[in-house]
Structure 1
Amino acid sequence: MAAASNWSNSFDIVVIGGGAAGIGVTASLLHRRPALRIAIIEPCDKHYYQPAWTLVGGGAYDIAQTARNMADVIPPKAEWVQAAAIGFEPDNNLDNLADGRSISYRQLIVCPGIRLAWEKIEGLQETLGKNGVTSNYHFDLAPYTWYLTKNLRSGKALFTQPLMPIKCAGAPQKAMYLSSDYWLRQHTLDDIEVEFNTAGAVLFGVADFVPPLMEYVKRYHAKLAFNSNLVKVDGTNKIASFDIKDSEGNVTRIEKPFDMLHVVPPQVAPDFISKSPLSDASGLCEVNPKTLQHPRYSNIFSLGDVCSSPNAKTAAADRKQIVIVAENLLAAKEAREFSNIYDGYGACPLTVENGKVILAEFGFGAKLLPTFPLNPTVPSRFAWFLKAKLFPWLYWNGMLKGREWLTRSTSMS
């Protein structure tokens, strides 16, 4: 491998990924130790606030407000290496890039996110963005979700959820609630058959939130199909094929016609992670879930969607993980004991109607971890204000700038 050419090819810290986790942890580290030489490896020139795409699909947010230039969010003291990582040599402290360069590090932070595997659903890629097939998981498609919602007067609307792990486990059903709420307000819901197909066995993984969500399922007369996994889309004929698993594990393929199909794609770790020495059996970057340190390489930490910690994969989880990684990485660097542990915090603001949100905040073992002194299972306008107004502002002006608001972590003591 050729040495990096523009700068000395050795950094104190190399960060893989310029998403929420990568930018946030870099900014937090530089606030603590401004002299650190940190490189961010990120090929994309745009940075997205993905949590708002659900709102875009529901007609409640401007898609243009969710994108900024990567150059404008990279912390000024960090070095942006605009290239793709393709592999690691952890025994040599090297990260290999697609352009043939290698970057040397003393410590490594792995947070490239997970990949949307559209190709795992037969026929999907050819029909996305047309024939009534959409997804709020893509910047270009969230506005199409709203277009379809506004223009559907009757017929069948299918919403899907693949097997875990996925980004924001509530997002697949949030799309259903916002569309259904619009149809209810337009008095067209009686002519639209709404169905939610999830590959899982439950509506939501934290039991406390299922009863209030079921109230909305009833309100919108939505049909729930569990253990129902989307495997094929025929966009021209508007037919979606699902593999349905029964209680004995037998699988039957069923075709369902649709007029609108909102797809959430299967999601996997990038190949350069899953095929690397850093991965666990599932392909994610292996970590101790409490310290976010790699169990075999003590100078490597991981956070965000690609790390193996069994928490909800949300930007809110990143916000808490940033502090854990920043503190513990510096403790490792300076031969101090770790002082912070991660409690598994994640948050999923469930947009159950336009103007109301159930703010689901929880940690390991489905323990409820509410930030505010309100009943978290009750839909509220305050939580909608947080989701639609405050959280985006906090993201751009707080989290990406190393301001650690609402990030209290658990002490080891």
Structure 2
Amino acid sequence: MAGSFLQTSRLLLQSCSGTPSFHVCKLHMTSSMAAKEHYKVLVVGGGSGGISMSARMKRKVGAGNVAVIEPSEKHYYQPLWTLVGAGAKSISSSERSTSSVIPSGVKWIRSRVQEFNPDKNCVRTDKGSEISYEYLIVALGLQLHYEKIKGLPEGFKYPKIGSNYSVQTVDKTWNALKNFKEGNAIFTFPNTPVKCAGAPQKIMYLSDAYLRKTGKRAKANIIYNTSLPVLFGIKKYADSLWKIVKSRDLNVNFRHNLIEVRPDKQEAVFEKLDNPGETVVFEYEMLHVTPPMGPPDVLKRSSLADEAGWLDVDKDILQHKKYPNVFGIGDCTNLPTAKTAAAVAAQSAVLDRTISNVMKNKQPDKKYDGYTSCPLVTSYNTVILAEFDYTGQPLETFPIDQSKERMIMYYMKASLMPQIYWHGLLKGFWGGPGPYRKIMHLGLK
């Protein structure tokens, strides 16, 4: 692997000329022979994974040798949107300018990647620029597909419907909740992978709490329609959630997938996945939509993707299976674990070590265990903190039973975690709670 990479690097150097920060390349060139930028480390995506890794790479190779391609002017701490949709936080509290989170001295390329060309160590942007790299980190996140539900996204123009997964629609969730009168409050989970798989039901628990607080719960029929066959994938936490569902009189329908919204009639149409061709229509007074999700189009059509379109990386070391100078992090990868910011944090520490070794022509020696975390918000002051690994086994940080609802976990979710995100993860200093877990468990775990 190291030999293959060295050969690739030599080919790149032979086909480029200029200073280390700017090269004129002959790779994938048009007849115009346009100039092309070159960076030692190129990061594609300015979300949590991309910013974290750009900060780590800056310390490793110097700011002038690192660039981030990201078109958005704003960066959001999206885990907070569960609380925004329930009226507990403002959208502005989750927002920073992208310029403020890009590490100082690192080049911010305000574009979208239009094409990957890993055989020639180049990418092309939507502005026509071609950028070459020695090492590539792909951190593109995933793509929301509201348009795969008939009647959306145009249906969001109507009241009573919202979604915590988009900055344009999260406030609509809160508007639908606070204006609720009586009838069905429906919460959905799509038939695709999603980021933060607990979020679709977190807003259900918060809505239940809000309706109880405002005296409207007796007039509400709360329904969770999920495409999954289980309430939550990890049994320990699912058992606790079932107790909450039963004690609060919440209705759960498995294998129900939202396929159409009729906002003018306040109707939602679901297909029954275990009975192909059969559908059922629900009227709603409030509808929270979790959209289908998938890999970014630019990734799907590239040679970097697996058959399903996700970035094809080794699940232990986060290095691409075909291209040894390409690495991945976060939601865009095919790692078999939940897609969360907590997973990104743990991955960033492993990926930092992997790239360090590859740069030194050494074999990667640190493995990602699949750690991820999902703070399951069950009210305005309680959280079940789910933590688990690739095997689906709990991997808990604290020496207590985290499957129980706890107030302290809520304040950690609402107040402490955002600070860790902005000042730890994005600065490249927080690699997850792994090092602290052994201390918490007195070295026994």
Q: How far does the alpha carbon of each residue in 1:44-82 deviate from its partner, in whole angstroms, 9 at most, with x for none? A: 111001000000111211211111110110011211000
For 2:187 and 2:63, locate their aligned partners in 1 and report how far apart those are by CA, in whole Å: 49
1:297-325 per-residue CA deviation (whole Å, 9 max, x = no partner) reads 01000011000101110000000111111
Q: Kindly state the Cα deviation for residue 4 of structure 1 after the two structures are TM-superposed.
A: 7.2
CA deviation after TM superposition for structure 1 residue 339, in Å: 2.0
Structure of greater relative contact order (alpha carbons < 8 Å, 6+ residues apart): 1
Aligned-residue offset at 1:187 = 2.6
Query: What displacement does 1:142 show?
Result: 1.8
Q: 2:184 aligns with which of 151, 156, 165?
A: 156
Structure 2 residue corresponding to 1:237, chosen from 265, 271, 288: 265
1:229-264 CA distance string (max 9 Å, x none): 000001001111100122xx5331111111111000
1:83 maps to what in 2? 111
| Counterpart check, 1:123 vs 2:151 | yes
Separation of aligned partners in 2, 1:371 and 1:202: 25
Write the letter of the residue equivalent to 1:230: L
Matched, 1:339 2:365: yes
CA contact (8 A) 1:181 1:220 kept: no
CA RMSD of aligned residues (A): 1.6
Structure 1 residue corresponding to 2:219, chosen from 172, 187, 191: 191
- Matched with 1:101 is 129
- Return the letter of the residue paired with 1:38: V
Residue 244 of structure 2 is aligned to residue 223 of structure 1: no
Match 1:74 to one of 90, 102, 123? 102
Counterpart CA distance in 2 for 1:11 and 1:148 is 47
Larger Rg: 2
1:250-269 correspondence to structure 2 within 5 Å: 250-269=276-295
| TM-aligned CA distance change 1:273 to 1:176, over 3 Å | same
239, 263, 286: which one pairs with 1:211?
A: 239
Are the equivalent residues in 2 in contact too, given 1:323–1:407 (CA < 8 A)? no
Contact 2:223–2:253 (CA<8 Å) still a contact in 1?
Answer: yes
Shift of 1:337: 2.1
- Alignment partners' CA distance in 1, 2:208 and 2:181: 12
Distance 1:287 1:88 in 2: 16
List alignment gaps of at least 5 residues for structure 1: none
Q: C-alpha separation between the residues in 1 aligned to 2:162 and 2:240?
A: 27
Residue 396 of structure 1 is matched in structure 2 by 422
Q: Please tell me whether the aligned partners of residues 31 and 402 of structure 1 are also in contact (alpha carbons under 8 angstroms).
A: no
Deviations 1:69-105 (A, max 9, x none): 1011001121100000011111100111111111100
Gapped runs of 5+ residues in structure 2? 1-28, 438-445
What is the TM-score of this pair, normalised by structure 1? 0.95
Give, as a single letter, the amino acid of the residue that structure 2 aligns with 1:370: E
Change (3 A) 1:200 1:372: same
Identity %: 37
Q: CA separation in 1, counterparts of 2:192 and 2:235?
A: 17
| TM-score when normalising by structure 2 | 0.88
Match of 1:354 among 358, 364, 380: 380
Match of 1:61 in 2: 89
The total of aligned residue pairs comes to 406
Q: Given the alignment of the two structures, is residue 145 of structure 1 paired with residue 183 of structure 2, yes or no? A: no
Which amino acid counterpart does residue 301 of structure 1 have in structure 2? F
Matched, 1:182 2:210: yes
Please identify, of 131-140 and 305-314, the stretch whose mean Cα deviation from structure 2 is larger: 131-140
Alignment of 1:355-370 (within 5 A): 355-370=381-396
Q: Check conservation: 1:347, 1:359, Cα contact below 8 A.
A: yes
Amino acid at match of 1:97: T
Cα deviation code 1:198-233 (max 9, x no counterpart):
111111111111111112212331111111000000
Match of 1:381 among 384, 400, 407: 407
